[in-house]
Chains A and B, each alone.
Chain A
Amino acid sequence: MDCVETRMSDPIIVAEDVHKWFGNFHVLRGVHLTVSRGEVLVICGPSGSGKSTFIRIINRLEEHQRGRIAVDGIELTNDLRNIEAIRREIGMVFQQFNLFPHLTVFENITLAPIWARKVKRSDAEKQALELLERVGIPEQAQKYPGQLSGGQQQRVAIARALAMQPKIMLFDEPTSALDPEMIKEVLDVMGELAASGMTMIVITHEMGFAREVADRIAFFDEGRIVEAAAPVDFFTAPEHERTKLFLSQILHH
């Protein structure tokens, strides 16, 4: 508990009253969230509740229309420099991997460091090898994404995001598109990443992962965070009816 307290004093992501509309559809209806440095936050909630939209807003894949977001002290505004700086701080992993199919695994990982961070090619390649080592597939470097299994692709995607040396990692349902036997290999990589002190926001319905790895679990519904609590409290004593209902549905599987 002590530990959580000290972390709370060092927020890295601050979102205050974030709103978002798609046309007339009010997707996010005032999201308040603070994530501390090194914290692992799991977001869960029914489909269509705006979870993806929210984390996509954090690195400006979508634009929010009201409220305020700051990442590591940088305001997320229309300032191009801030947007670029924030994107540099944040890595993102998608449900559908979104690897670049025309590039090899190696090129997927080195492309952004070389061109966007202007790292020397040899350094970028050395780092790529280390990262592939870290996610457990150094032997696949010269293959194309299409030649890998889903689990391997997702691990490459994690390595690709890490290659930009982000301070924060966002995961949008990283295991939902995977066959069951591959889920664990990806979750293991994510667990190690969490253990290394990375700040992470993970949208997932893997409640086992949430229980073991998360520092906090936030429950999203109808565009709001209904409640957020440490895993123990979240699973044993959820406050809201909707949370209870959701948990009973998801844990019955």
Chain B
Amino acid sequence: MQNREILPPPMLRIGPLRWLKDNLFSTRYNALLTFLAVVFLYLTLHPTLEWVLWHARWDAIPANLKLFLVGIYPMKDVWRVWVCVYWILLLLGLSGGLWGRLAREAALIVGSGAILLLLLPFSWMERLWILGAVLGLFGGLSIGWLLRERKSWRKDVIILWALSPLIVVLFLGGLPNNPLLSPVGTNQWGGLMLTFMLAIVGIASSFPLGVLLALGRQSSLPVIRWISILYIEVVRGVPLITVIFMTSIMLPLFLPAQVRVDQALRAMVAFALFTSAYIAENVRGGLQAVPRGQIEAAKAVGLSGMLTTFFIVLPQALRVVIPANVGQFISLFKDTALVFVASLLDLFGMAKSILANPDWLGRDREVLLFIAFVYWLFTYFLSRMSRRLEKALGVGER
């Protein structure tokens, strides 16, 4: 609401009393509403504030911060997480410089967030790392800004983004027989890092599958269409938690005995299977939005079906569904908390396990509020951005 581009009408100077009258007491009924609202606020906020100010014991959070952020990831390898963060921030900065207002704003918001973190009472070492992140972001921003006239860079940056999940996974997971990047199994991933990795790997792997399913659902070949519909509808008809549960128990049963799949990977498979059905439905909307004339024109110039899909249909369809897919990513990000059924220690799982520790008994409210705030921060930021993106792309409301 605040982000309209239209200029506001010339401001009348409105005194606070006038404002109160207009917005809270315009009619008798409104005055009553205001009164009730104030009573309600008092009844709820008063004990809450009292608790936050006097009774809450927040010590569990700084004491376990490392666990919340990266779980039991080896301390000596934590720099790799930082490098990944730098990489993403650098890309974000580059995009902010290269693209228009929206990307730049996103980069600036993240940058200010990082600067705010600097003000919190971290150790000097930690502050140095954060400072590096800020520098990476603004470095990327300035490079992108300098290169903004060269359109070809945009394609390169998109490719880098697309490759990022792979790069990050390799970097965090390490390589066998590599002294610098020694292997760190996914059973050692945890906390916010695991939450992000689950969401990112989940969306990245469900995307191609979802696109194929959407194409299958629109196919003129009945068998392919039916099977795609069957898959999509079955998956959309069951709760995600049951899919995670299923892969966590049954995936090993379906694979040869010598193949070992650890829990985090099983959860990622679940996310990929589940989210692909939803992505497929989003993409289908995009496919339907491509006019028939486009396909006919492609046929008429002699492109085969495959080339038509790849060069004509998908680029147009996918553009339309970017916001919907960002929405999908957001809900996937929230849904990662469900991996508690597979006993994984993501942000939520970590909170649960810390609360189960007798040292931190009774800190439920504090810990849960803290992780809820972390989830909220990212989700709210992403959903604001996606709403803006929707407007910027001119995609109509659904």
B residues 120-157 near A (Cβ < 8 Å) are: none
Give Cα distance in the complex from A117 to B315, angstroms. 22
Residues on A with C-beta less than 8 A from B312 are 100
Q: Contact mask A46-57 → B, CB, 8 Å, 1/0?
A: 000000000010
| Contact with B303, one of A61, A92, A98, A116 (Cβ below 8 angstroms) | A116
- B379 contacts the other chain (CB 8 A): no
Stretch at the interface among B164-172, B180-188, B290-298: B290-298
Indicate whether A102 reaches chain B with its CB closer than 8 angstroms. Answer: yes
Known interface pairs A87-B302, A160-B301; A111-B311 also in contact (CB < 8 Å): yes
Which residues of B lie under 8 Å from residue A56 when comparing CB positions?
A: 296
Total interface residues in chain A, CB < 8 Å = 27
Chain B contact surface mostly? helix
A111–B241 CA distance with the chains assembled, in angstroms: 45
Residues of A within 8 A of B301 (CB): 91, 111-112, 116, 160-161, 163-164
Q: Within 8 Å of chain A (Cβ to Cβ): is B30?
A: no
- Contact flags B297-338 to A (C-beta < 8 A → 1, else 0): 111111110010001100110010000000000000000000
**Docked-complex contact B316 and A112, CB < 8 angstroms:** no
Fill in one digit per residue for A79-118: 1 if any B CB lies within 8 Å of its CB, else 0.
0000010011011101010111110000000011001110
In the bound complex, do residue B300 and residue A61 qualify as a contact, i.e. CB atoms below 8 Å apart?
yes
B152 CB → nearest A CB, Å = 13
Q: Across the interface, which residues of B come within 8 angstroms of A98, CB to CB?
A: 291, 293-294, 296-297
A154 within 8 A of partner (CB)? no
Interchain CB contact under 8 A, A112 and B303? yes
Contact between B302 and A117, CB atoms less than 8 A apart: yes
Report if A116-B307 is in contact (Cβ < 8 Å); known contacts: A98-B293, A102-B316, A102-B319. Answer: yes
Could you say which of B294, B299, B302, B319 contacts A100, with CB atoms under 8 Å apart? B294
Q: Once bound together, how far apart are the Cα atoms of A161 and B303, in whole Å?
A: 12
A-contact 0/1 string along B258-301, CB 8 Å cutoff: 00000000000000000000000000000000010110111111
Interface contact B303-A111, CB-CB below 8 Å: yes
Shortest distance from the beta carbon of B307 to any chain A beta carbon, whole Å: 5
Known: A101-B316, A102-B315. A115 touches B297 (CB 8 A): no
- Measured CA separation A92–B301 after assembly (Å): 7
A117 to chain B, nearest CB (A): 7
Q: Is the CB of A112 within 8 A of B302?
A: yes
A116 touches B296 (CB 8 A): no
Q: Which of B293, B300, B319 has the most CB of A within 10 A?
A: B300
Residues of B in contact (CB 8 Å), total 18
User: Which of the listed residues A59, A90, A115 has the most CB atoms from chain B within 10 Å of its own CB?
Assistant: A115
Contact of A116 among B294, B297, B302, B319 (CB under 8 A): B302
> Residues of B contacting A116 with CB < 8 Å?
301-304, 307
Q: Which residue of A lies closest to B310 (CB)?
A: A115
Residue numbers in A under 8 Å from B316 (CB-CB):
100-102
In contact, A87 and B299 (Cβ under 8 angstroms): yes
Partner of B300, one of A84, A91, A96, A100: A91
Rounded to whole angstroms, the CA-CA distance of A98 and B300 in the bound complex is 11
**In the complex the two chains form, what is the Cα distance from A160 to B302 in whole Å?**
11
Asked whether, in the complex, the Cβ of A96 is within 8 Å of the Cβ of B293, the reply is yes
Task: Give the Cβ gap from A200 to chain B, nearest Cβ, in Å.
Answer: 15
Q: Mark out the residues of chain A between 133 and 190 whose CB falls within 8 Å of any chain B CB in the assembled complex.
A: 157, 160-161, 163-164
In the complex, which residue of chain B has the Cβ closest to the Cβ of A112?
B301
A115 to B302, CA, bound (A): 9
A59 partner, pick from B291, B300, B319, beta carbons under 8 A:
B300
Question: Which residues does chain B contribute within 8 Å of A91, judged by CB atoms?
Answer: 300-301
Across the interface, which residues of A come within 8 angstroms of B311, CB to CB?
100, 111, 115
Contact B299 A115 (CB under 8 A): no
Q: How far is the CA of A92 from the CA of B298 in the complex (A)?
A: 10
Q: Are B296 and A61 within 8 A (Cβ)?
A: yes
Q: Is the CB–CB distance between A87 and B319 below 8 Å? A: no
Interface contact A61-B299, CB-CB below 8 Å: yes
In the complex, the chain A residue whose C-beta lies closest to that of B292 is A98
Listed from nearest, the 8 A-B pairs whose CB atoms lie closest are A98-B297, A112-B301, A92-B300, A98-B293, A116-B302, A87-B302, A102-B315, A61-B296
The contact sample of 12 A-B pairs, CB cut-off 8 A, is A61-B300, A99-B297, A100-B294, A100-B297, A100-B298, A101-B316, A102-B316, A115-B311, A116-B304, A117-B302, A163-B301, A164-B301
Residues of A within 8 A of B (CB): 56, 59-61, 84, 87-88, 90-92, 94, 96, 98-102, 111-112, 115-117, 157, 160-161, 163-164
Question: With contacts A100-B294, A112-B301, A116-B304 known, what are 19 further pairs, Cβ within 8 A?
Answer: A60-B299, A61-B296, A61-B299, A84-B304, A87-B300, A91-B300, A91-B301, A94-B293, A94-B297, A94-B300, A98-B291, A99-B297, A100-B298, A101-B316, A102-B315, A102-B319, A115-B311, A116-B301, A157-B297
